[in-house]
Amino acid sequence: RRAVLFKINLRGARLRGANLISADLNGANLSGADLRDAQLSFADLRDANLAGADLTEANVSQEELALTKSLKGAIMPNGKKHR
């Protein structure tokens, strides 16, 4: 089943290792969220705010991340900070 979290506010949430495969996160606020090791493949990240989120070792594609509203200051899956 697909989790529908459209426009949800998960600012600063602890989602380490969460299974969000194919989740609808369109417009979600995930700023500052801990998404380390999270499974985000096939998630709908259109217009999601991931500013300051920690995506270290998260399973998510560059194509999916390109659809987000903001990645400013986020730690990317490779451990590098986004500018």
pTM of the prediction?
Answer: 0.94
pLDDT in tens, 31-77: 999 999 999 999 999 999 999 999 999 999 999 999 999 999 999 99
Q: How confident is the model at residue 11 (pLDDT cuts 50, 70, 90)?
A: very high
The pLDDT > 90 percentage for the chain reads 95
Phi then psi for residue 63, to 5 deg, are -65, -40
Q: Which residues pair with residue 4 across a beta bridge?
A: 24
Q: CA–CA separation, 19 vs 38, rounded Å?
A: 6
Average pLDDT value over all residues in the chain: 96
What is the C-alpha end-to-end distance of the chain, expressed in Å? 34
Long-range contacts of 34-40 (CB under 8 A, 24+ apart): 40/64
